[in-house]
Structure 1
Amino acid sequence: IFLAALSFSYICKALGGITMKTSITQIERRFEISSSVAGLIDGGFEIGNLFVIVFVSYLGSKLHRPKLIGIGCVIMGAGSILTALPHFFMGRYRYSTETHSNASENVLSTCLVNETSSLNDTSEIVAKGCKKESESYMWIYVLMGNMIRGVGETPISPLGISYLDDFVKKEQFSVYIGTLNSIAMIGPILGFTTASLFAKMYVDVGYVDLSSIRITPQDSRWVGAWWLGFLMSGLLSIISSIPFFFLPRNPNEPQKPRRKVSASFQGLKTEEEKNQTANLTNHGEDITVTGFLKSVTCLLTNHIYVLYVILTLTTSSSFIGGLTYIFKYVEQQYGQTASQANLLLGIINVPTMIVGMFLGGYLIKKLKLTTVGIAKFALLSACISTMSHLLLFPLMCESKSVAGLTLSYDGLNQVSSKASVPLSYCNSDCNCDENQWEPVCGSNGITYLSPCLAGCKSRGGVEKSTVYYNCSCIEVSGLPSKDFSARLGECPRDDGCNKKYFIYICVKVLFSFFATLGSVSLVLLLVRNVQPDLKSLALGLHSLTIRGLGGILAPIYYGALIDTTCLKWSTTSCGTRGACRMYDSILLGNSYLGLNVSLKFLAIVEYILFIYVLKKKYNGKDSKTFEEGGKFTNGANLESSNNNEYFEPSAIVKETQF
């Protein structure tokens, strides 16, 4: 029953995590924030973890673990629901805040020669809109919700695994862990599938007439129903908490409750005589700050452990930052919608990662690798995955042809991505607002920021099928064109870019496979190089570092770097900078992929140093191999005695891969 309940909670926490990752772009657009601020929101989960992770790691096993897990699930669910709540208090989404026309009509004027707009009226409307949307800082509630979700998630994995480790038979433990991790993969698959579905749905679905919405999922202003995913994962998390409140603290206790638990109860322990069971029943154990500090000092003076933490921090930073913005990268680089990116990347990559994890563990066991051999296996995996990552650079698409951003308005000359493009003779008399964003695709294959800036004199059709005619800038572009019209929306990517996208998916599958192939190696390298009685604390400090310096900081500096590649920022109703509408594809690719590869190469250097230190420590005496049943035999003693303990693979796999 505990395994079933824990598996359900694993599904829910994975579902919540994937929902946040796949909703980052939607949250940016809805709250009009930059990628760096969105990265801070994403890192809020790790901030919440930091508040309680040391307490859980050091004291959690001495308390009622099932109830703590149940409380964690409730808190995790409440955090997810809080994340979704701003949607219900912000009013309707105004997807064209740059325009000073009526927001409900959302219609931009065409080129009106010799007519001017009233700047005073515009200022008044902007001022009213600013006052009305002064609650735009409600993204802070999304941050708070994600932090609370992080607090709730913390006890689930360490306490759940330790509970299984204490009360199942040795020969069954690996089966339990394999079952748990396999069932947990339902979470990511469910998360990517529902994210794809919700991204197709308009954010205010159920509140507005969808036939009146002019934008499509291909539009950079489109916001899907991001909040539905958080509501679903929150409710499921609360439901998953129920069984834990009815499970016993110690399943080996007699069914009749006792008033007092004496020290003689030690005789009821399981055959394994494990240390954590002793801790569980011995309430008189001396838990002091001094003992905790001594344990921490012992770990920090273990050079191999310190190098290991630095190594996995570099690897995790690359993975966390890359995963946070991979959907934005695919949308901007290959012109895919959020729904398409979520579905294809998620459904294809998750099974590949599962295969990589299991095959990595099997090869280590089959080859009976020593500790140094395991480190070399992890290095080989890192090298191959890095080389496969280099294959992504030739797969970048050229920047879009956008008049006013990458081309002059007449479409004849390339311009610098950072240059301010002056109006051309084809639209200088149109009295256009250059901050307006209502992109149209000209019949010459060039995107214009608005029908006015394309010099279009008239329009026809209704809503999403609107077509603009007599566009002077299209006429003078000198490119082959049957007419001088433009249709609503950006021009799609060409077939060559679409082919590159499918090759990109294949390379990503290869990269994911080799990246996860070495994940089990990282688990073993930690377990084998710390004292058994410090294993739990070592896991906690490792997780603390990864979450603090990787999970929090990586999305922020990745986002800040991505922000520097923006070509066109939106303008909020208060006249301030909002979310980015369009990026320089080449610059975005070089920045995003370049940072990824740089961190991976740094990790390879750290791997080499780590292997050197391992060789020096063991000096040829290492006969430790991974044998049948998951046991370790140690010919070269570490600082303590018993190494016949089992490890918890999901914790570090989660930190290094998810």
Structure 2
Amino acid sequence: MTEQSVTNCGLCGIYPNWLQKRATPHTFILVYGFLGLVQAMAFVYMIVTLTTLEKRFKIPSQTTGIILSGNEISQILSLILMYYGGAGHRPRWLAAGVGFSALSCLILAIPHLLYGPGKAALALTQEHLDKNLPQNVTISTEYLSLCPGEREPEVCDEDDMGDAGITPRILVFASQFVLGIGTTLYFGLGQTYLDDNTKKSSTPMLLGITFALRTTGPALGFILAYVCMKLYIVPNLHPVINDKDPRWLGAWWLGWIILGMLLAVFAVLIAMFPRHLPKKQKKDNINNNKPENEVPLRITDRVQGIVDASKIIQTTEKIEIHTTTVEEETHVPTLSDFCVTLKRVFSNKILLCNNLSAVFSIFGFLPYITYMAKYLEVQFNTSAAGGTVITGPIALTGMVLGFIGSGFFISKVRPRPTRLLSWNVVGGFVCVLVQIVWIFNSCPVMPTEGIDSASATMNFTTACNIGCNCERVKYSPVCHRTSMTTFFSACHAGCTSSIDSRTFGNCSCLPDHQEPNENQSYSVTLPETTVTLGPCLADCVKTHMIFAVTSMINQFLLSTGKIGNVLVNYRCVEKRDKSVAQGVTLMFVSLFALIPGPILYGAIIDQTCLIWEDSCGSNGNCWHYDKDKFRWALNATAMCFTFLGVLFDIFVCYLGRDLNLYGTDEEDQRKVFIQEDTVITRQTKTIIVEPEKKL
């Protein structure tokens, strides 16, 4: 391997001179940080569009959790890639991982290209109604849910059958599996490459900058998701429902194409970095103007002179740099060494406790990440993108401030390990208290006709609609504005006529007319026998803002402790084990948190469902949840896991009290070596340089 290929920027044997000035830690931080930004955009985009995927392909939440586990399964299998990649050309391995991430985004867009928007989504457009309403009343009855007056046979086509969702589910799982490889290489190799090519004392600040850049990605991801989800799944059509209707499907597929192209560009950029960033060379103070034919020198004990100590010091530095490079280049990883390395890493008590702390902490906050959009929709009546575009950036503000502030503070103050790690304990207890607040942060529940909230029983067939035969009608909620009561459909409300595409009349099942009192701000503008398309929604702005602000507090506390946890992972193992230690951490988090977490919380969420999509005899996605049960079960479970994470933070604080987190020992040893070398030079007997006499 040539020296040029080791330290120069380029690709495929091309190393232009103008590019070599970019082979610096600052440039790598910039590219690596923006790469993390785009990857974070993809992660958030998946979270926001998750509920839309469930509705489009009729997927229960527990099944969604299983599908998303593909990301974590591949991260476990990628552990060996971390071992070989850590000993190889890390930027090239990292670029390959980014290429996999780009591929995963493009795979996610394939289900839409294969199956399109779906029959139900097309039927809710004005173009479809204009085309079919005059000729085919059956279609109007099925999707606008008017009282048919006679029992209609159930017709199952490919779009309604449960088996139709198998191929999209396989594609989503495959995309997550491929994405996991890229995520593993990004975190495992990028951070260790940065740590090995910069001063150890600068690592906290540099990590804070990269984390902060990556943290701004979710904000942009929320914006991208908001724009795409505001568009209907077929952007050139005009839907008759708005984005707060539970049946709304946004253009979820569009963002994946954009993100895939961006990641492909960054894969090329990151591959251009050299195997090792070149170190800055100090100016040589040696006098190089010696004559070629120099007279032989003789050393005696009685001559006064001074030897330039800087020459010895500089020579020593050059030898150290050269030796390190040779060792790294000559190290060839083998499978037997890999097993020995794993045994050494797994037997590290500090690393084990730090990993378990990460596992339980992530488990405790996983429902607010994976199912954030669903939580906001169910608890605060937001749209698929409208809630996250508010809560997401507010919470991310706390995260960015935490990363930048903690990185700067740790780099400048360098607190003792006990003080730094005890902050995680304090912050963890505060997070537990915040989750207790979330249990009681409830929004008023508007009544749904046919659902008894106290007993959680349902009966949508009453005396006023029994003749309508509404059993086969799809869920299409309507709202009686006068009483603020939601009906399962216009059929269940006993409506027999359609005033327009959003208003239904002659409804026989509506409550008695009630005049608004003086404290009510709304006025009745529609006749009491009409209902409008969409559910009745309460005003949840106050509770939504409480959740957003407290989320910002939690994210701030978590991010301030993140850098300390990463430093523990770096410093509690040998330098040669850092990449593998990062891989083991990712494996722990994936195996014990990110794989079972979405499945567990998905099962908890499904247990609170009241109205399921009936897809030809099998349950599809959930349309309506028991809000109180949803909130209590999810937050209480998450709080317990967060508390367990705090307990392991206490163990890390105790075991890591003597860790050298900032590399100060290495710097002190280097200074002592230089000082001792200088003293020895000055104590050498006087030297004289004179021509040797001829015999």
TM range, normalised to the smaller chain? Answer: 0.7 to 0.9
Q: Contact 1:82 / 1:145 at 8 angstroms: preserved in 2?
A: yes
Partner deviation per Cα, 1:432-467 (whole Å, 9 max, x = no partner): 226531111013110000111112233312x2xx22
CA RMSD of aligned residues (A): 3.4
CA deviation after TM superposition for structure 1 residue 103, in Å: 5.4
Does 1:375 find its partner at 2:412? no
1:33-432 equivalences under 5 Å are: 33-52=59-78, 54-95=79-120, 107-111=143-147, 115-118=149-152, 122-123=153-154, 125-127=155-157, 130=160, 134=164, 137-168=167-198, 176-206=206-236, 209-210=237-238, 213-250=239-276, 252=278, 273=321, 277-282=325-330, 285=331, 287-364=333-410, 368-406=414-452, 416-417=455-456, 419-421=457-459, 423-432=461-470
Distance 1:287 1:344, change over 3 A: same
* Deviates further, 319-328 or 419-428: 419-428
CA distance in 1, matches of 2:323, 2:73: 31
CA distance in 2, matches of 1:131, 1:325: 25
* Deviates further, 422-431 or 306-315: 422-431
Counterpart selection for 2:506 from 453, 460, 470: 470
CA distance in 2, matches of 1:320, 1:101: 46
CA deviation after TM superposition for structure 1 residue 110, in Å: 2.9
CA distance in 1, matches of 2:54, 2:137: 23
Does 1:590 find its partner at 2:632? yes
Does 1:561 find its partner at 2:600? no
Task: In structure 2, give the amino acid aligned to 1:390.
Answer: I
Secondary structure of 1:232's aligned partner? helix
CA distance in 2, matches of 1:13, 1:270: 39
CA deviation after TM superposition for structure 1 residue 178, in Å: 4.7
Does 1:523 find its partner at 2:562? no
* Match of residue 292 from structure 2: none
CA distance in 1, matches of 2:342, 2:380: 48
Aligned length: 588
Secondary structure of 1:555's aligned partner? helix
Does 1:486 find its partner at 2:531? yes
CA distance in 2, matches of 1:244, 1:516: 26
Higher-Rg structure is 2
Q: Contact 1:360 / 1:520 at 8 angstroms: preserved in 2?
A: yes
Task: In structure 1, give the amino acid aligned to 2:65.
Answer: G
CA distance in 1, matches of 2:113, 2:91: 34
CA distance in 2, matches of 1:452, 1:91: 28
Distance 1:172 1:538, change over 3 A: closer
CA distance in 2, matches of 1:511, 1:545: 23
* Match of residue 290 from structure 2: none
Task: In structure 1, give the amino acid aligned to 2:102.
Answer: G
Secondary structure of 1:516's aligned partner? helix
Identity of aligned residues (%): 25
Counterpart selection for 2:35 from 6, 9, 30: 9
Q: Structure 2: where are the runs of 5+ without partners? A: 1-21, 125-135, 280-314, 517-523, 673-695
Q: Contact 2:119 / 2:159 at 8 angstroms: preserved in 1?
A: no
Distance 1:483 1:245, change over 3 A: closer
CA deviation after TM superposition for structure 1 residue 138, in Å: 1.7
Secondary structure of 2:623's aligned partner? strand
Distance 1:563 1:97, change over 3 A: farther
CA deviation after TM superposition for structure 1 residue 246, in Å: 4.1
1:634-649 equivalences under 5 Å are: none
Task: In structure 2, give the amino acid aligned to 1:433.
Answer: E
Does 1:570 find its partner at 2:613? yes
CA deviation after TM superposition for structure 1 residue 35, in Å: 0.7
Q: Contact 1:426 / 1:473 at 8 angstroms: preserved in 2?
A: yes
Secondary structure of 2:68's aligned partner? helix
Q: Structure 1: where are the runs of 5+ without partners? A: 254-266, 407-413, 635-640, 645-658
* Deviates further, 559-568 or 72-81: 72-81
Partner deviation per Cα, 1:259-318 (whole Å, 9 max, x = no partner): xxxxxxxx9997874997445411xx3533333222222233333322222221111112
CA distance in 1, matches of 2:369, 2:400: 17
CA distance in 2, matches of 1:504, 1:38: 25
* Match of residue 651 from structure 1: none
Partner deviation per Cα, 1:37-72 (whole Å, 9 max, x = no partner): 2122322222222222x2232121332223222222
CA distance in 1, matches of 2:85, 2:343: 21
TM-score by length of 2: 0.77
Secondary structure of 2:175's aligned partner? helix
Secondary structure of 2:70's aligned partner? helix
